[in-house]
Structure 1
Amino acid sequence: MKKIAVVGAGISGLSMANYLEKYKIDYHIYERRKKNDLSGHGFLIPKEGMDYLYQIIAPDLLVKNGNFLKKYTQYSRTGKILAEKDLDNVFAISRHSLINLLAQNISPEKITYEETIIADEQQKGKLQLSDGITVDADIAVISDGSRSRIRKHFFMDETMTRVRESEVVNIIQNKEISDSIEKDFIKFHHEDGGLTFGVLKLSDDTVLWYSQFDNQKYMINECSAENLRKYMLDVFENWHPLIPEIIQKSDYTNVHLWNVYELEKLNAFYKDNFVFIGDAAHPLIPFTSQGVTSALKDAFSLTKYLVEEDNIQQAFSKYEAERKPEIETHIHNGRTLLSQFLLPLNQQTENIIPISYK
């Protein structure tokens, strides 16, 4: 098997590395960020994603670091129950915890941090380090996120559109608040639409919270943590008391302000010896809650075909043919969920779970 360079040590890149480890395939990961990126970001993972995750992480370790959610409850902003639905093994986990679990099986010498990789302008199908040295690899697996620089290098005419939604994501450690939530996924909605506040219980003392804003109604600019906290308190002042309490008591050191973009049209999933996975191949609107699952399935599928096929292009082609139709479904579902989010509550479809299913 040929040597593989993986660009990006996020969920998709580390998932790929774990599957490559299973088949003892030679690889190295290059990540432009520092090793410990503690942004307050987390994930919902449906049952299908968990089935893939179990192949590379022991179930008992996952349970120790996250939480299975029993029920989804939709509330008005004042706390009136609008809809309820049982959840089928939907798992909540922080990004930091999942990154650590995925990295535990990877030898430290197989990951280089704080290294920005670009496509080699002189040698087709090769990568280049920041010092100009060409990377010794036959295949480049690109997993450098939704704003992938390497994808843009190959598909220069692509259009990235800013979605009419922004998110603030954070994690609070507070046992009293966590005890009040049960093992549920709860979400509060403004009656005029375009503003929500979601809460996920991660453990006995840890809660992940996120707020979604219609960024045409609510202008959130990059600002200091303290100013963001004040803005959040002002916006959610008259909501259910749990929400301002969470906002007030949270630490904003690692808060994450996320401006969402999507590709107007999907590119090919591969070019020459470069193949794209996860958000680098197909940025998904966060309403789908399919980012992790899609990354895991991409990594599994690509590894499978790299093992089965001697011809790299044939392996890439089969990977794209398998994954692209499902991704198109999630893109469609994400846009539908976004449209619902922007509508007043009395015009929204009842009891929609903010998860895309194929």
Structure 2
Amino acid sequence: MKVVILGGGIAGLCMGIYLHQHDIEVIVNERQIFSAVGGHAFLMHHDGITVLNELAIESKTPLPGKPVHTFILRDAEGLIQNEKTLEDWQCFKRTDLLACLNQFLPVSRLKNNRVFSHFVYEADQIVAAAFSNGEVEYGDVFIGADGANSIVRQQLFGEVKFEPGKVKEVVGIIQHAELAESLQGRFTKFQQKDQGLSFGLIPTSATELVWFMQYDPLLADIPEAMNIRNSEQYHEQLRQLCFNLLKDFPAEVQEVLGANDFRTSYIWNTRDFDLLPGFHYQNVVLIGDAAHVALPFTSAGTTNAMLDAKTLSHCLLNYTDLNDSFLAYYQLRAESIKAHVNLGRALRDSFLDPTSIGVIPLISNVLK
């Protein structure tokens, strides 16, 4: 059996590593050459960390990630409203995790500069994936891991109906050794009590922090006409948006904004879609954001992508019939995915219309 994976992000790489560990011929196809520059960070709980340890079992490469042992919720004046001990959570910078995963696969299994174009059919059966550079990869099984805007998914199921997340998020990274040292091991979030506005801060190293601002765009926003990431006007509008919305937040928030280079920041328009009726068509199957997208409040996106890879690889190895393996994969993952979509929407609604403080946007002790 030869497996062709379309997309070399976290989901695609995890899938490729699992199959390679079990001597399955696999090719991971990625649209660009990986570069460990920039990128945001995310939280990962026990399930995702377990997968990462399984992937690294045959490697001496040190794993990335910084332990996060405490979540602290403060109000917009800086007063602590809630504090929670986190069991087995870590913060990962996306580029660090990708760099690590890339080392777990032989170079011969990774193909860059391959933008998926379409499937090649013979006698109404999918036999190959064609790429925009003219290259073609034949295989027996094809796995779509090409993200939320998946071309594979579109070709299998048509356009999905994305539901607007109603919340936007600005993400940035700063170097600030003093502040990073004082916040080690802690995820700190400042939340306004009466409207949808928050600011989060997580150290990713001894000197670096990732920050985010979640906001209701009805409060203020950048006009769509100006939302061109590479323009100086956009960067200045983004800086003004953050400073204006967060003007009443504590001094450490102002310090972070003052140290931030807004040329490396961006606005993320959150969104999701309902659970698909299935994740496969013929010999093609979806994983990660290509299969499902949940809102960021659950902090579960990356973990779910890694669990998809683990579950699907297990099904492919344990079922002789390909269709049975895909059906089993969907049955094992669908309920959890649907629950995370619903949880994300509930947390979003609470964020936009807070009737009380203390809503913790983490899945710990909520879903497993």
Shorter-chain TM-score range: over 0.9
C-alpha displacement at 1:13, in angstroms? Answer: 0.6
Aligned mates of 1:81, 1:134 — CA distance in 2: 56
| Pick aligned residue for 1:238 from 241, 248, 259 | 248
1:299-328 deviations in Å (ceiling 9; x for gaps) = 111111111122111111111111111111
C-alpha displacement at 1:66, in angstroms? Answer: 2.3
C-alpha displacement at 1:119, in angstroms? Answer: 2.8
C-alpha displacement at 1:192, in angstroms? Answer: 2.2
C-alpha displacement at 1:196, in angstroms? Answer: 0.7
Query: Unpaired runs of 5+ in structure 2?
Result: 229-233
Equivalence for 2:104: 105
Aligned mates of 1:325, 1:56 — CA distance in 2: 25
The secondary structure found in structure 2 opposite 1:230 is: helix
Tell me if 1:177 matches 2:179: yes
Write the letter of the residue equivalent to 1:236.
Answer: L
The secondary structure found in structure 2 opposite 1:191 is: coil
Aligned mates of 1:202, 1:261 — CA distance in 2: 26
Aligned mates of 2:155, 2:118 — CA distance in 1: 8
Aligned mates of 1:43, 1:120 — CA distance in 2: 33
CA contact under 8 A between 1:39 and 1:255: conserved in structure 2? no
Calculate percent identity across the aligned residue pairs: 28
Q: 1:298 to 1:120 in 2, by over 3 A?
A: same
Decide which moves more: 177-186 or 94-103.
177-186
Equivalence for 2:50: 51
Aligned mates of 1:157, 1:129 — CA distance in 2: 20
C-alpha displacement at 1:98, in angstroms? Answer: 0.7
CA contact under 8 A between 1:164 and 1:216: conserved in structure 2? no
Aligned mates of 1:11, 1:254 — CA distance in 2: 22
Decide which moves more: 308-317 or 82-91.
308-317
Equivalence for 1:272: 282
Q: 1:351 to 1:133 in 2, by over 3 A?
A: closer
Equivalence for 2:231: none
Q: 1:107 to 1:257 in 2, by over 3 A?
A: farther
C-alpha displacement at 1:269, in angstroms? Answer: 0.8
TM-score by length of 2: 0.90
Decide which moves more: 114-123 or 296-305.
114-123
C-alpha displacement at 1:333, in angstroms? Answer: 1.1
Decide which moves more: 27-36 or 294-303.
27-36
Write the letter of the residue equivalent to 2:107.
Answer: P
Aligned mates of 2:217, 2:107 — CA distance in 1: 40
Aligned mates of 1:210, 1:85 — CA distance in 2: 20
Decide which moves more: 20-29 or 228-237.
228-237
Equivalence for 1:21: 20
The secondary structure found in structure 1 opposite 2:114 is: coil
Tell me if 1:89 matches 2:88: yes
TM-score by length of 1: 0.92
Q: 1:37 to 1:166 in 2, by over 3 A?
A: farther
Aligned mates of 1:144, 1:169 — CA distance in 2: 22
Q: 1:99 to 1:153 in 2, by over 3 A?
A: same
CA contact under 8 A between 2:47 and 2:307: conserved in structure 1? no
Aligned mates of 1:34, 1:305 — CA distance in 2: 30
Write the letter of the residue equivalent to 2:237.
Answer: N
1:227-252 deviations in Å (ceiling 9; x for gaps) = 32232122212211111211111233
Write the letter of the residue equivalent to 1:231.
Answer: L
Cα RMSD between the aligned structures?
Answer: 2.1
C-alpha displacement at 1:253, in angstroms? Answer: 4.2
The secondary structure found in structure 2 opposite 1:54 is: helix
Decide which moves more: 14-23 or 256-265.
256-265
CA contact under 8 A between 1:43 and 1:289: conserved in structure 2? yes
Q: 1:32 to 1:213 in 2, by over 3 A?
A: same
Equivalence for 2:350: 340
Tell me if 1:71 matches 2:73: no
Query: Unpaired runs of 5+ in structure 1?
Result: none
Q: How many residues align?
A: 354
Please show how residues 211-222 of structure 1 align to structure 2 within 5 Å. 211-220=213-222, 221=224, 222=227
Equivalence for 2:360: 352
Decide which moves more: 134-143 or 29-38.
29-38
Aligned mates of 2:33, 2:135 — CA distance in 1: 21
CA contact under 8 A between 2:81 and 2:357: conserved in structure 1? no
Aligned mates of 2:212, 2:133 — CA distance in 1: 39
Write the letter of the residue equivalent to 1:165.
Answer: V
C-alpha displacement at 1:122, in angstroms? Answer: 4.3
Write the letter of the residue equivalent to 1:159.
Answer: K
C-alpha displacement at 1:351, in angstroms? Answer: 4.5
Aligned mates of 1:112, 1:327 — CA distance in 2: 30
Equivalence for 2:201: 199
Aligned mates of 1:61, 1:202 — CA distance in 2: 18
| Pick aligned residue for 2:191 from 189, 192, 197 | 189
CA contact under 8 A between 1:19 and 1:300: conserved in structure 2? yes
